[in-house]
C-alpha cells in the first residue's frame, strides 16, 4: 500500500484511527496542562509561605531582648 494513498485515501477505518489518535493526543495534552497548572499553583503557595516565614523571622530577630547581664540565674537545689 502506498503511503500517500494511506493518508489521503477515503478509507473510513484509516480516518477513524487518525481521528481517534488525535483525540487521545489532545486529551493527553489537556491532562499535562492541568498538571502543570497544579504544579505552578503549588510552587506559588510554597513561595508565599517562604516569604511569610522570612518576614516572621525578621520580626522575631528585631524584637527587644533583655540584657544578658541583668538576667538572674535560676537557683538549683543540688
36-68: per-residue pLDDT in tens?
999 999 999 999 999 999 999 888 887 777 777
Q: How far apart are CA 59 and CA 53, in angstroms?
A: 10
Q: Which pLDDT value is given to residue 8?
A: 65
Task: Tell me the pTM.
Answer: 0.56
Listed by start position, the domains of the chain span: 27-60
Is the confidence at residue 78, as pLDDT, over 90? no
Amino acid at each position: 500500500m502506498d503511503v500517500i494513498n494511506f493518508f489521503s485515501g477515503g478509507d473510513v477505518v484509516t480516518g477513524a484511527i487518525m481521528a481517534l489518535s488525535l483525540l487521545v493526543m489532545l486529551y493527553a495534552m489537556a491532562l499535562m496542562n492541568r498538571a502543570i497548572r497544579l504544579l505552578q499553583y503549588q510552587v506559588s503557595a510554597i513561595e508565599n509561605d517562604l516569604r511569610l516565614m522570612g518576614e516572621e523571622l525578621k520580626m522575631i530577630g528585631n524584637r527587644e531582648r533583655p540584657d544578658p547581664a541583668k538576667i538572674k540565674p535560676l537557683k538549683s537545689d543540688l
